[in-house]
Amino acid sequence: MPRGANERIVLDTSAYSAFRSGREDVLGILSTCASVIVPTVVIGELEAGFRSGSRTRENMLTLEEFLDEPFVSVVSVDRAVSRHYGRIFSRLRREGTPIPMNDVWIAACSLSCDATLLTLDSDFEKVAGLSRLVLSA
C-alpha cells in the first residue's frame, strides 16, 4: 500500500492486539498513516482484557505510551458519534444483521472521524458506508 493511502486509520481492539503482537500486515498499514485514531470504547475493551491477564500493569503502560504518541489520537463518544450509532444500530436491526454493541460504537467513531477502520473482525462488513480494511484473523 503506498504511503498516504490511508491518511487516517481507526484501530479496533483486534487491530491493536495484532499491532502489539507484531503482525507484519498491520505494521505495514500503520506505517503508511498520517494518524491513528483509537476510540475510547477500544481502550475500555483493552483495559478489561488487561485486567483479566497476568501482565495488567505492563500492558496498561504500553497502551498509555502508544496513546501518547504524537500521531495517535483518542476519539470519545460525543453527539456526532451518537448520531452515527443510532443510524448504524437501527439499520442493522432492520436488516436483521446485528453486531456486538461495542462494534457499533467503534463503527460510529470511525464514521464520525471520516477515517478507515482497521480490524480483523468481519462483523464490520455489515456496516454500510463504513470505510474499512478487514484483515484475516
| Residue-wise DSSP of 6-57 | SSEEEE-HHHHHHHHTT-HHHHHHHTT-SEEEEEHHHHHHHHHHHHTSS-HH
Supply the pTM of this predicted model. 0.93
Task: Write down all domains in the chain, each with its CATH number in brackets.
Answer: 8-134 (3.40.50.1010)
Would the pLDDT of 4 be above 70?
no
Instruction: Name the pLDDT band for 103 (thresholds 50, 70, 90).
Output: very high
The yes-or-no verdict on residue 44 having pLDDT over 80 is: yes
Give the three cell numbers for residue 46: 483493552
Q: What percent of the chain has pLDDT over 70?
A: 96
- Residue 75 to residue 73: CA distance in whole angstroms: 7
Q: Mind listing the pLDDT tens digit for each residue in 23-41?
A: 999 999 999 999 999 999 9
∠ CA 63-85-97, nearest 5°, is 100
Q: Is 123 exposed, middle or buried (0-12, 13-18, 19+ CB in 10 A)?
A: middle
